[in-house]
Structure 1
Amino acid sequence: MPTSCSLSSPVNFAEIYQSAEAVLSRIAMEPDTQLNILLSPGTPAMQAVWILLGKTRFPVTFWQSSLEEGVRKVDIPFEISAEYVPTAQDVGSLAISELSAGSAPANAAFADILTQNPKMERLKVQASILASREVPVLIYGESGTGKELFARAIHNASARAERPFVAVNCGAFPSELVDSILFGHKKGAFTGATADQEGVFQQADGGTLFLDEFGELEPAVQVRLLRVLQDGTFTPVGARQETRVNVRVVAATNRDLMQAVAEGEFREDLFYRVAVGVLHLPPLRERQGDLGLLAEQVLASLGQQDVQLQDKKFSASAKNIILQHPWRGNMRELHSTLLRAALWSGRDTIDSEDLLEALFQMPEQHRGLLDQDVSQGIDIKEVCDSVWRHYIPLAMAEAQGKKRRAAELLGLNNYQTLTNVMEKLGLK
């Protein structure tokens, strides 16, 4: 299969790499092909690239030739690792930032929430019902489960769709500027207030205010927020007159607010003011039937946003890794991982090696006996055995080695039961 390439310069490493990689890729696709490279001709840049490709990307046999020794096989006795990615060379830093953002589109609708999972379909129906009602909405879910996507879809499906949608992160409020951010300020109200400034409630007037990380609001802020949610009025910092707005609030949190209320960390009246329409979004690992669908959709969207990433597809082994990974970061982790894998891959097919390289292997958090992740499956017998292993030695020590007394301390009817458990677990 004769192949030739035109180069603008014999020493342009990037151009040589792309041309050589393209040639070897085409040749390697032929069945029963053995790749052989003659290193002698060409420039030093060409020889370096051949060695780079032959040691990292393709199974190659190297040869040299000279008048004195003729043609002979060359052994290159070292291993190297290369990370040069020609497929991503034209993707600018701004484009990569936009691709990695993976944020909810401004025109998000319920049709944009792709799913084949019955629970998610039910949530879409519930959210569409809430969209048609003028009630506050509280969305629960882990980070990356699509809380803002649902919030925007609710807004766009409501009668407020033509009015503003304003999103703020409650966890990022500087304590000294909270009032100004929420309610605005008048010129001269404080040092640095050089002009009147609207708060987010005024910006969202007539529309929807999305309060993300709602559970992170400080207690003092919760009090001030409660009033505006009750009657729609507030006083900007430095103002003398109240301002009235008509705002629908959609809040989102990954915290258990009912537990926070019980522990006195969150105001009960504020909770019930917002928790009228409540949606619990499941994590990605619990959305059976959706992982493959969503991975294909993310890959297609990357290709639509950047021509260099078009026509990418997954190998069977890569799909298996996607289906088996727990995706603790949910859609954010899936999106960023697939973007990295698409950038790393020098071929149209993203294989398991590309995906494994793109995955972040987070250390497993130590979980207590009563804090196991049931969604990943647990061995309840092993959990019970762990309890036995912990308490039997303590009871035996307290009973000074007397099994009858130790059995009583453990609430057992007779010491023979204790003996049986100890023998089973190998406890002496």
Structure 2
Amino acid sequence: MNGQLTTLISWIGANDLKAKETQTLGPILSTLKAESFDSVELLYNYPENRVKPYIEWLKTQISIDVSSHSASLSSPVHFGEIYQKAYQHLKRLQESNKPTSILLSPGTPAMQAVWILLGKTRFPCEFYQSSIEEGVKRADIPFNVSAEYIPAATSLSTDKLHALSGLEAPIDAAFDDIITQNPFMLRLKQQAQILAKRNIPVLIYGETGTGKELFAKAIHNTISRKDGPLIVLNCGAIAPDLIDSELFGHVKGAFTGATSNRKGVFEQADGGTLFLDEFGELEPSVQVRLLRVLEDGSFIPVGATAQKVVDIRLIAATNRDLSTEIAEGRFREDLFYRIAIGVLHLPPLRQREGDLQLLADSLLSALAEQDEVLLGKKLSVDARNIIISQSWKGNVRELRATLLRASLWSEGDELTATDIRQALFSREPSTSDETMLDVSQGIDINDILTDIKVRYVKKALEVSHGHKAQAAELLGLKSHQVLSTWMQKYGIN
């Protein structure tokens, strides 16, 4: 902190609340002990009865001023509401002339994204991160948004910027909105269209950002239920003690804070579709309570005695391998087979050969349709090469966000390689191999080796323009026959 005392502001996260219960530190306390601040401002979207004991405990651990502020949100991933709450408190601190630092670690990815946006544009701040693995450290965001943001962004209203930054698929999404020329993805679209015509549950697998919600909304909008409601719930963003109320609703007085009757998502989706995202995050105790409502549509709201019956189409999505979760006792097998009637496995963007440039052009066109300030933006040849060379761990979502950032601060109509590089989030190398997976969570070494072979064979063939002998030499293989065998085994054209 260079001797200058500042105020630290942060959302209170689940790991912080657990810290009080387990007598560990958590991200907030870890940061306050590792760095010097004269006060801390905490925002929270949890019930008072969970936050108040944590605040009282935190005050016994540190000797600086602690201020807490309820920031009620309809959803912990609602960008607009998060922006308003964070903006309000950062503006207050700025007006009081308090130098401010932001702790990024607690909260949802949406909260972290809004912190970065505000802390690099309206209220210049220092950023901190805290993790068990790497401790507390300053987070260097690898671009100066406030300087490079001006050319295109000055003409955008706040509401328009919210819309452009939104990660949700359009509510009227159709299968034509799934942009691809990859044979595997085209086959997936055909399979999804078949499933859409049948009133059966659908389970969608895929990494974050691969388009699971887009597929879900396209399925909903194809079937006879398209005139009914489509209700989306992120199971991973709901506190465990509130999940029953979120799913099944509650009656007035069912628990502290239940001041009125409230419909759960099952009742809200009656006659339509319920999309449960991050389905694999549900606790086993909740999983067993889902079985009955999936069998006959019946459930009892929290605190009620009368049973309710609904008619819904269920679509679930997860980035977890539920087969592994079942084997390790974290997911119920009977619930899995109840859901996994129609199954779609969405590949990551790095495996969608031929789609990167097509998607980049389509995403740029979509951004231009949302605001004419971004109209006419095109990718240079060098910029396309940068895009092709990236692994895009965040998939389509990361690609879209990168193109938006590059478009906002690009002064010309052509997005250059420099624009794209500046828009990318660089990842700091760690002391350990950054390609290593967490072995403690279990891995399949054969799948990993297969993925490595496929990626490098494709790259070698690309560099050698399809010349097998040259590609084999680049890969260190003794002969091109070995390469041909691999290509046949792994289905590489």
Task: Specify the structure having the higher radius of gyration (Cα).
Answer: 1
Q: Aligned-pair distance for 1:87?
A: 2.2
Matched with 2:413 is 348
Q: Aligned-pair distance for 1:240?
A: 1.3
Structure 2 CA distance for aligned equivalents of residues 227 and 347 of structure 1: 58
Question: RCO greater where, 1 or 2, for CA within 8 Å and sep 6 or more?
Answer: 1
Structure 2 CA distance for aligned equivalents of residues 334 and 379 of structure 1: 19
The verdict on how the C-alpha distance between 1:374 and 1:358 changes in structure 2, with shifts beyond 3 A counting, is: farther
Structure 2 CA distance for aligned equivalents of residues 292 and 375 of structure 1: 22
Matched with 2:401 is 336
Q: Aligned-pair distance for 1:192?
A: 1.7
AA at the equivalent of 1:329: G
Alignment coverage as a number of residue pairs: 300
Consecutive unaligned residues of structure 1, counting only runs of 5 or more, are 1-80, 381-428
Matched with 1:202 is 267
Q: What SS class does the counterpart of residue 152 from structure 1 fall into?
A: helix
Indicate yes or no: 2:208 matched with 1:143.
Answer: yes
AA at the equivalent of 2:372: V
CA contact (8 A) 1:286 1:375 kept: no
Q: What SS class does the counterpart of residue 232 from structure 2 fall into?
A: strand
AA at the equivalent of 2:382: S
Map 1:6-155; keep pairs closer than 5 Å: 83=148, 85-155=150-220
Indicate yes or no: 2:305 matched with 1:235.
Answer: no
CA contact (8 A) 1:104 1:148 kept: yes
The verdict on how the C-alpha distance between 1:288 and 1:343 changes in structure 2, with shifts beyond 3 A counting, is: same
AA at the equivalent of 1:131: A
The verdict on how the C-alpha distance between 1:313 and 1:373 changes in structure 2, with shifts beyond 3 A counting, is: farther
Q: Aligned-pair distance for 1:344?
A: 1.7
Q: Aligned-pair distance for 1:366?
A: 2.2
1:314 to 361, 372, 379: 379
Q: Aligned-pair distance for 1:82?
A: 5.6
Structure 2 CA distance for aligned equivalents of residues 355 and 344 of structure 1: 10
Structure 2 CA distance for aligned equivalents of residues 312 and 121 of structure 1: 28
Q: What SS class does the counterpart of residue 346 from structure 1 fall into?
A: coil
Matched with 2:347 is 282
AA at the equivalent of 2:436: H
Structure 1 CA distance for aligned equivalents of residues 156 and 203 of structure 2: 38
The verdict on how the C-alpha distance between 1:304 and 1:378 changes in structure 2, with shifts beyond 3 A counting, is: closer
**C-alpha deviations, 1:146-179, integer Å up to 9, x for none?**
0000000001111111101000001112122111
**C-alpha deviations, 1:206-237, integer Å up to 9, x for none?**
11100000000011111111111111100011
Indicate yes or no: 2:234 matched with 1:169.
Answer: yes
Q: Aligned-pair distance for 1:263?
A: 0.7
1:157 to 203, 222, 228: 222
Q: Aligned-pair distance for 1:94?
A: 2.8
Structure 1 CA distance for aligned equivalents of residues 410 and 176 of structure 2: 31
Map 1:203-282; keep pairs closer than 5 Å: 203-282=268-347
Structure 2 CA distance for aligned equivalents of residues 348 and 379 of structure 1: 33
Indicate yes or no: 2:431 matched with 1:366.
Answer: no
Matched with 1:32 is none
Structure 2 CA distance for aligned equivalents of residues 230 and 372 of structure 1: 37
Structure 2 CA distance for aligned equivalents of residues 145 and 239 of structure 1: 39
AA at the equivalent of 2:352: R
TM (norm. structure 2) is 0.59
Q: What SS class does the counterpart of residue 161 from structure 1 fall into?
A: helix
1:325 to 373, 380, 390: 390
AA at the equivalent of 1:365: T
Structure 2 CA distance for aligned equivalents of residues 197 and 287 of structure 1: 43
**C-alpha deviations, 1:119-153, integer Å up to 9, x for none?**
01100110011011111000000000000000000
**C-alpha deviations, 1:324-363, integer Å up to 9, x for none?**
1111100110000000010121111000000000011224
The verdict on how the C-alpha distance between 1:134 and 1:237 changes in structure 2, with shifts beyond 3 A counting, is: same
The verdict on how the C-alpha distance between 1:147 and 1:378 changes in structure 2, with shifts beyond 3 A counting, is: closer
Structure 2 CA distance for aligned equivalents of residues 82 and 217 of structure 1: 43
CA contact (8 A) 2:164 2:370 kept: yes
Consecutive unaligned residues of structure 2, counting only runs of 5 or more, are 1-145, 457-493
The verdict on how the C-alpha distance between 1:373 and 1:156 changes in structure 2, with shifts beyond 3 A counting, is: farther
Q: Aligned-pair distance for 1:301?
A: 0.9
Q: Aligned-pair distance for 1:84?
A: 5.9
TM (norm. structure 1) is 0.67
Q: Aligned-pair distance for 1:376?
A: 4.7
CA contact (8 A) 1:232 1:246 kept: yes
Q: What SS class does the counterpart of residue 168 from structure 1 fall into?
A: strand
CA contact (8 A) 2:148 2:410 kept: no
Matched with 1:296 is 361
Structure 2 CA distance for aligned equivalents of residues 86 and 123 of structure 1: 40
CA contact (8 A) 2:149 2:408 kept: no
Two-structure CA RMSD over aligned residues (Å)? 1.9
CA contact (8 A) 2:233 2:275 kept: yes
Matched with 1:23 is none
Q: Aligned-pair distance for 1:372?
A: 3.8
